């Protein structure tokens, strides 16, 4: 699976407005809904928040990967959001998060979210990848990094 295939053109937010992670989740979920990636915003938000209760999805280095598996998801998707000023996110390294990669996967998709999460996390350990994404100004620039 190529991560580039899980992103979608409208799924890049370069100026997140939310001031905390719940507001950012709502903002990103709205984009997923408007682009028919999910059918039910509340159902998917519940899946995201339930996963957040299990442990932090802020993986460090200014990156968070919240993810949810829900029957309201139409197609496996990654949506990207960037907030230059950063968010208090309860990250593993206690730093603010500026890059959020939200993963949405349909229930019953044979651990597809784990495959996507694993591949994304392995990619984001490379400093040059993270810097390339952080400095990107368009979806095309981000996809080129991947």
Q: Mind telling me the catalytic residues?
A: 67
Residue 99 main-chain phi, psi, to 5 deg: -120, 125
Residue 97 main-chain phi, psi, to 5 deg: -105, 130
The sign of the dihedral angle between the CA atoms of 108, 101, 8, 12 is positive
User: What does the chain come to in residues?
Assistant: 146
DSSP helix/strand/coil, 64: strand
Structure tokens at 14: 């370069």
């Amino acid at each position: 699976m190529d991560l580039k295939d899980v992103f979608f053109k409208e799924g890049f937010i370069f100026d997140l407005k939310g001031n905390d992670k719940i507001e950012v989740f709502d903002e990103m979920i709205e984009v997923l809904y408007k682009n028919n990636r999910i059918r039910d915003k509340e159902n998917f938000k519940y899946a995201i928040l339930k996963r957040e209760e299990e442990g932090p999805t802020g993986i460090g280095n200014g990156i968070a990967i919240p993810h949810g598996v829900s029957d309201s998801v139409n197609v496996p998707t990654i949506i990207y959001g960037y907030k230059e000023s950063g968010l208090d996110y309860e990250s593993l390294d206690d730093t603010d998060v500026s890059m959020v990669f939200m993963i949405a996967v349909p229930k019953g998709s044979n651990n597809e979210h784990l495959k996507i999460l694993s591949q994304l996390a392995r990619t984001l350990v490379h400093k040059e990848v993270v810097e390339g994404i952080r400095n990107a100004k368009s979806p095309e620039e981000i996809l080129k990094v991947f």
